[in-house]
Structure 1
Amino acid sequence: MTVIERANTAIRIQDGRSKLMAGGAALALLAGLGGVLIGRSTAPVPLAASTEAPVAQSDEGQKSGPEGFIAITPAQIAANGIAVERVSSGSIASEVIAQATITAPPEGQALVTARADGAITRINKRLGDPVASGETIALLESREAAAFVAERNAAAARAQAARAAAAREQRLFDAKVTAKQDLEAAVAARQTAEAELQRADSAVRIAGVTGNGRYLAVRSPIVGRITEVDTQLGAYVAAGAELFNVANPDRIQVQAAVPVPEAQRLQPGDSAVVELPGGGIVEARLRSITPSADPQSRAVAVVLQLAGAPGGLRQGQAVRVRITPRNSKTSGIILPEDSVQLIEGRDAVFVQVKGGFQAVPVQIGQRSGGRVEILKGLEAGQIIVSRGAFALKSQLGASEAEH
């Protein structure tokens, strides 16, 4: 073999080794990539944190986008002090706004007095204690108790004697010994004596005589709690003296003072709203209007009946009421001024939707007395945030800045 032929053969062998090495490297690369792909396909994929607010759905079933939506749970609503109310049509010029007081209706309070002269020997209840109807609050040691018992005993003796006389006259008349008029007189005397006994017995029960005619029981006429104690143990009181005040906390009404010009627009049956001290509202109905004004305040007393018995209201508490006359014209929706917030340069109200609240742009009208008129953007029956809207606005701004 010549030198040239040996050189060519060496070149061919070298080319074959290079191709084999390239092929092996390619196979190794493919195997590595396959392992990586297989490893990636079998390894768990971590969930990425979503930056979009969940899609809310309103009561009408329409979906609102994430912009302006705040997801919040009922527990968070209560914890943040957010109050909501259902809006209705009205006019800010027609609303009658007045200060009012939570009072007790006639059947919800009672004044317990002494029925006779005497000394307080026992007090069974303290201030704030619950009492039942007819329950004894205190005992009054009085000579009147002995007089009641003595009168009843005397009446019982007279009734017994009249019964015996009537029975004897009946036997004599049956034996044809006496005349019929004698029997009739005896029967009339018996009936009179029995009526006197019944009267004396009722007087003893009403007076609450106990302890063998020594004490008079001071009882509560209604169910409620002791709200005032005007006596003490051992005190000598006169008949008619005020001893205790009892009120039923579940029986309440609202009494408002309305100026005479405004009161002339009102009539029983008008709808009203009572603004609760802790936020929120409760619906009411105008029950009655006094025919004359108070000589000092120059205002007319208006009584409102609450729809239900909301918790937290106490007799004597001050509230504010809004009364809407039935003949008033409706030009929009009236809301608390704090419920309208400026969001991105536009007035907006937070409307309750499924899962949270949605900021809805609105067009406002007049403002008066902490109230604002909504001309466009809301419909009657929707539930809006009446208190705590600024907190939702702050949360909405923080969420958009984070996103």
Structure 2
Amino acid sequence: MITQNRRLLGGVGGAVLLAAVGGFTVARCTADPAAEAQKSSIGEDSAEAPPSSLAMTDEAIRAADIAVEAVRSGGLGSEIPAQATVTAAPNGEAIVTARAGGAVTRVFKRLGDPVKAGEGLAVVQSRDAAQIAADRTAADARAVLAQRNLARERQLYEQKVSARVDYERAQAEAAAASAEARRAQVAASAANVTRDGSGVIVASPISGRVTAASISVGAFVQPETELFRVADPRQIQVEAAVGPLDAQRLAAGDTAIVELPDGRTIDARVRSITPTLSGETRAATAVLDVRDSALVPGLAVRVRLRPSRGDVSGAIVVPEEGLQSLEGRDVVFVRTKQGFRAQSVTIGQRSAGRVEVTSGLKPGQMIATRNAFLLKAELGKGAGEEE
């Protein structure tokens, strides 16, 4: 009897277990396929539409050293790339010399020191300076004596004591003595003779900084020997070498972009173009006006000249480093209020590090140029994290 009851309970338990398994299978077949299909659909949509925007603050953009530039239309024909050199403007550099030979007794300025126009840089003790000072003193004394003689002859002539010819002779002598005194004074001023007349002061004609100094106390220098060079960093220009055909397209007033070695760009303007070609390079020289304290004479730069004459197109030109490949398509990163957005573009010709964009951009939009690859890497990292 007990054995029969155990068999009955075992059969009931097996039926309950079979019912539970069957119910789970039915629920799985009726509910899970829709959920799985929905999950599969969401996964597929995410794969087809990767993120294209990247949020970045202004501080983060500066920290990553990402440059932003406004694009403009005109095609490759609207720009002339050229190598250039920063030089001092004619009024921006001065060669300071000694106006008389002698021994250097004092040096006031050293390499790199700031100076003002007319400020003394050194003192040269000179016998020539002593002679110039003596000539000035003698000329002043003769001028004073001539004026006194003229006054006396005028008085005698008015009193009918002396003849008119004596009075006229005194006038001529006074005029000659005054002219000689002025000449001696100008010579002393040009030589910058010291007050005591023992030497000459070597002074800078412009304000700026000392860029070269070849002088030592006690050294003997000859007249017109170069002792210092002074340059004003605000008075600079950029000289670009352009071909003869490109030179014909340029005119005074055309705009230009100066690309610095560190990646920064500076706006410039064409001041003039030489009418002849250099005998060595067979190229004309375009002189650009630019104002930037970061530029120093001798710095090699690259410029993009924008001629006002010549064939242009409606294509937009962007730096080649601003063009990136993302998911098999060409994109540029357009600046937005929140950061950047990857914008698909169609490209055309390439030349000298520049690329034509035939569609996908509008003139005036701001795009990332230098270090744009960092945005691509960050965007790819964000897509990987979402997956």
**Normalised TM-score (structure 2):** 0.82
1:382 aligned partner: 365
Of 340, 343, 354, the residue aligned with 2:337 is 354
Offset, 1:135: 0.8
Q: CA deviation at 1:211?
A: 5.1
Q: Is the 8 A contact 2:233 2:293 kept in 1?
A: no
Asked whether the 8 Å contact 1:267–1:286 carries over to 2, the reply is yes
Partner of 1:331: 314
RMSD, matched Cα: 1.9
Q: CA deviation at 1:327?
A: 2.0
- Alpha-carbon distance in structure 1 between the residues aligned to 2:190 and 2:300: 38
Deviating above 4 A after TM superposition, structure 1's stretches of 4 or more consecutive aligned residues are: none
The aligned runs of 1:86-125 (5 Å cut-off) are 86-125=70-109
How many Å apart are 1:179 and its aligned residue? 3.1
How far apart are 1:200 and its partner, in Å?
Answer: 1.2
Give the one of 278, 288, 302 matched to 1:320: 302
Code of the aligned partner of 1:387: R
1:207-250: per-residue Cα shift (whole Å, max 9, x none)? 11115111101111111111112332222221121111111111
Aligned partners of 1:150, 1:379: CA distance in 2, in Å?
76
Deviations 1:272-300 (A, max 9, x none): 21112211322222222223322222322
* Equivalent position SS for 1:380: coil
How many Å apart are 1:311 and its aligned residue? 4.0
Aligned to 1:147: 131
| Percentage of matched positions with identical amino acids | 49
1:84, 1:280 within 8 Å by CA — same for their partners in 2? no
Say how many residue pairs are matched.
Answer: 336
Q: 2: CA distance between counterparts of 1:357 and 1:280?
A: 20
* Aligned residue runs from structure 1 range 14-29, under 5 A: none
Q: Specify the alignment match of 1:391 in structure 2.
A: 374
Whole-angstrom CA distance in 2 between matches of 1:247 and 1:73: 40
Return 5+ residue gaps in structure 2 as ranges: 1-49
Looking at structure 2, the residues matched to 180 and 87 of structure 1 have their Cα atoms a distance apart, in angstroms, of 85
Alpha-carbon deviation of 1:154?
0.6
Residue 334 of structure 1, CA deviation: 1.0
* 1:128-158 deviation line (CA, Å, top 9, x unaligned): 1111111111111111111111101111110
Aligned-partner Cα distance in 2 for 1:241–1:98: 37
Task: Tell whether the 8 Å contact from 2:121 to 2:203 is kept in structure 1 after alignment.
Answer: yes
Distance 1:379 1:280, change over 3 A: farther
Q: Using a 3 Å threshold, how does the CA distance of structure 1 residues 311 and 277 change in structure 2: closer, same or farther? A: farther
Q: State the match for 2:193 in structure 1.
A: 209
Q: 8 Å contact 2:249–2:308 — kept in the other structure?
A: no
Whether the 8 Å CA contact 2:80–2:246 is kept in 1: the answer is yes
Query: Post-superposition shift, 1:305?
Result: 1.5
The answer as to 2:336 corresponding to 1:364 is no
Q: Could you say if the C-alpha distance between residues 379 and 362 of structure 1 is closer, same or farther in structure 2, counting changes exceeding 3 Å?
A: same
* Distance in 1, Cα, partners of 2:101 & 2:293: 41
Paired amino acid for 2:355: V
Q: Secondary structure, in 3 states, of the residue corresponding to 2:375?
A: helix
Q: Distance in 1 between matches of 2:74 and 2:60?
A: 31
Distance 2:58 2:361 in 1: 23
Q: Distance in 2 between matches of 1:337 and 1:127?
A: 41
In 2, Cα distance between equivalents of 1:192 and 1:161: 12
Shift of 1:105: 0.9
Counterparts of 1:380 and 1:267 in 2: how far apart (Å)?
Answer: 24
